[in-house]
Amino acid sequence: MNIELGRGKTVRRAYGFDEIALVPGNRTLDPQLADTQWQIGGIERSIPIIASAMDGVVDVDIAIKLSQFGALGVLNLEGIQTRYDDPNPILDQIAAVGKEDFVTLMQKLYAEPIRPELIRDRIQAIKSQGGIAAVSCTPAGAAKFGQEIAAAGADLIFIQATVVSTAHLSPESVQPLDIAQFCSDMSVPVVLGNCVTYDVALNLMKAGAAAVLVGIGPGAACTSRGVLGVGVPQATAVADCAAARDDYQQETGRYVPVVADGGIVTGGDICKCIAVGADAVMIGSPIARAKEAPGRGYHWGMATPSPVLPRGTRIRVGSTGTLEQILKGPAQLDDGTHNLLGALQTSMGTLGAKNLKEMQQVEVVVAPSLLTEGKVYQKAQQLGMGK
């Protein structure tokens, strides 16, 4: 439905996850029967969760453990893992610095050049222990290091920026990455993002994307929406891009997964992502809360250390449980941030969805009061959904 914002400006209403709810259908099923299998780049996974390519979220060890659990972790190849032989002292500095000096310190630490030999070493370290080597870089990083990443044995390459499109304009002195050519030349599946619209998602699929990431600015540590004023609430963005996926499959026969990236904190958020069309989710802050996470209880975004326009901050998320408890339980918290897989399976059982494709077809309603209705005591006592 279009709304007249003012004379000459008509806008469309968009929705976030907090504004919608999932409606049970005519049947239910035991959560153990809920099949959460999915594929990305020909790789089968049993948990539709990807850990974000952020330095406080994924290192070599986390990537290996996530692979073992049936999920996936993406290593940031333009972060501190590829700038320093030993990232641990750097992570200690980031965790210890005060708020006032944080941005300056980050810009200094991330000014250290990326070292190609460390790209190779990190990828091979993941592979040597049986992990899936999924790695991320910007379009500029892909143009510079793409062949080295493939030669090192990476299983998946994520090309990520605030917005990635196939129609990027650059100054005459700058040669932009030809995304379609890059996808065609690479021997490794390429995941592209981020986007929030039907048209851009469709163009990325036509360019050869193995999957598309959806989301601009909803991340817990991201400030892009405030700094740039850009973004589309995630429920609407995911639904629009999922429509592009379905139309593209009908036209070509090729299925390109849509991954909701950002703004996802609880199991309920994951359930809603899939219900509006996502095949999987990419999450940062929930994994940053794992005791094994490299961030020491902190979380920050990929654009945080930008030397010219930082679009992110460092947030304190704490360490609330092990990686296994957060992913698969048993839950020790009552706020939906532990046992994310169990939450998804239980929701699917409640909704009668036997697999993710059926979960994408459940009824969704607009429900602004979903998270507040009847929760007076929880809010007053800061318990459960009132935290």
Confidence of residue 223 (pLDDT cuts 50, 70, 90): low
**Catalytic position from the list 183, 222, 271, 273:** 222
**222 labelled catalytic:** yes
Mean pLDDT of 233-252: 97
Q: How far is CA 145 from the centre of its chain?
A: 22
d(CA 245, CA 23): 24
Mean pLDDT of 45-67: 97
Mean pLDDT of 4-29: 92
* Alpha helix positions (H), 179-332: 179-185, 198-206, 224-228, 234-252, 267-275, 285-288, 323-328
Phi, psi of 45 (to 5 degrees): -130, 145
pLDDT value at 312 more than 80: no
Lowest mean pLDDT among 42-46, 199-203, 305-309, 346-350: 305-309
pLDDT value at 197 more than 60: yes
Mean pLDDT of 29-48: 97
Which pLDDT score, from 0 to 100, does residue 171 have? 61
pLDDT value at 173 more than 90: no
Which pLDDT score, from 0 to 100, does residue 215 have? 93
Residue 217, exposed/middle/buried by CB under 10 A (0-12, 13-18, 19+)?
A: buried
The structure's pTM equals 0.93
**195 labelled catalytic:** no
Which pLDDT score, from 0 to 100, does residue 166 have? 72
Phi, psi of 26 (to 5 degrees): -90, -10
d(CA 229, CA 320): 32
- Which residue from 186, 164, 75 is spatially nearest to 126, judged by alpha carbons? 75
